[in-house]
Amino acid sequence: MKKILSILLAAVMLFGVFAVSASAEDAIIYGDLDGDKKVNSNDALLILQYAVALKTFTAKEKLLADVDMSGAVNSGDALCILDYATEQITKFQKDYASTRKFNYVDKIVGGSAYTITATTVIEDMDTVMTFTAKGKESAVSTVVKTPFSALPVSSAELLAFKIALKAMGVAMDDNTFDMEIRYYTDKNGKSYMIVPITHQYSEVPSEEVPSELVSLLFATENLIVSAKNEKKGSQTYFCETYSPDGESMFKFYFTDNSLKRLTLKDAASTVDYTITKCAASATTSLLGIPSGYTKTDDALSDVT
């Protein structure tokens, strides 16, 4: 059980490595290469210098410079900047307000109620994460579909365990049971860890609640890398790729206007998620502390 618990805790904290924060004064201005908050001929000159190897750009600067989204920084981007500076065009190809992420995902998550459910595989175990909110209440649920075969118990102990799970209302089938950790934040800002398998909960600092996925989904400080059709497996999606620094990548896969997959990639790892729900409504069953649960100092203490 300790192994399952470690997988759960790893899952709920998984997005910490990808969390991005930026202040309002760090707002992205595509084409602004000299950092003066303006887009003009000075920026076009810097791009031309880069194109003839008189100047180098960081990975982030390259994304700011590639305003025509060709995947390369060259004289075409300099020309676009000059057209913009002389009001021949009013926006670049890289226009966040035109993206599917802005128009379909951000508007759902930025509303008064939402539910996002994503599935992935961690150490060969199916894992389901649900993020939901309504007004000031929010919850994060992580469920590991745990094989009974992973438990180091005898046949008699396993039978007793299954009977106990059934009595507690834990979801299970012949081969697996749901091992869940849930975080709930109430209207007053108090946060709790809830462990359904033991019917216990404990108060936790709000900073321990793993909400980075939601922050990521509607973070506007990520740079647009590309927007194009991309094949993943046998399915072709419209893929929008974003990056906070030109190195870590967040890939949003859409079918029509619906978010279907999400891939988070950095130098150390790649995590793929299938989005099973992204809706402007709350999963109210996750909002609140279930009746009959016992408050303890550490809700995980009995999970061994």
223-241 pLDDT tens trace = 999 999 999 889 999 999 9
CA angle 235, 109, 278 (to 5 degrees): 35
Is the model's pLDDT at 37 over the cut of 70? yes
Span 164-202, pLDDT tens digits: 888 878 888 988 888 888 999 999 999 999 998 888 999
CATH 2.50.20.10 in the chain: give the residue spans: 1-27+95-304
Where does CATH 1.10.1330.10 sit in the chain?
31-93
- Other Cβ atoms less than 10 A from the Cβ of 47: the count is 27
* Residues 80, 30: Cα–Cα separation, whole Å: 11
**Tens of pLDDT, residues 62-119:** 999 999 999 999 999 999 999 999 999 999 988 888 999 999 998 898 889 999 999 9
Distance CA 70, CA 187 (A): 46
Q: Is the pLDDT of residue 18 over 50?
A: no
Average pLDDT over residues 192-220: 81
Q: Which residue, 140, 179, 135, 228, is CA-closest to 5?
A: 179
- What is the DSSP track for 25-92? GG---TT--SSSS--SHHHHHHHHHHHTTSS---HHHHHHH-TT-SSS-SHHHHHHHHHHHTTS-SS-
CATH annotation of 1-27+95-304: 2.50.20.10
Q: Bin 295: left if φ > 0, else alpha if -120 < ψ < 50, else beta.
A: beta
Closest C-alpha to 159, from 170, 174, 169, 144 = 174
Structure confidence at residue 97 (pLDDT) = 87
Query: How high is the pLDDT of residue 45?
Result: 96
Q: What is the pLDDT of residues 246-301, one digit of tens each?
A: 888 999 999 988 999 999 888 888 889 999 999 999 999 999 999 999 999 987 77
Which pLDDT does position 221 carry in this prediction? Answer: 75
Among 4-13, 90-99, 128-137, 248-257, the minimum mean pLDDT is found in 4-13
pLDDT, average across residues 23-29: 60
Q: Indicate if the pLDDT at residue 17 is higher than 60.
A: no
Q: What is the pLDDT of residue 232?
A: 87
pLDDT reported for residue 153:
82
Helices (H), 120-211: 155-168
- Write out the H or E segment, with its range, that includes residue 215: helix 212-217
Please tell me the predicted confidence (pLDDT) of residue 117: 93
Neighbouring residues of 26: CB distance < 8 A, sequence distance ≥ 6:
221
Q: Which of 1.25.50.10, 3.90.226.10, 3.40.50.1100, 1.10.1330.10 is the CATH number of 31-93?
A: 1.10.1330.10
**Amino acid in the structure at residue 304:** T
pLDDT band at 148 (very low <50, low <70, confident <90, very high): confident
Residue 26's pLDDT is 57
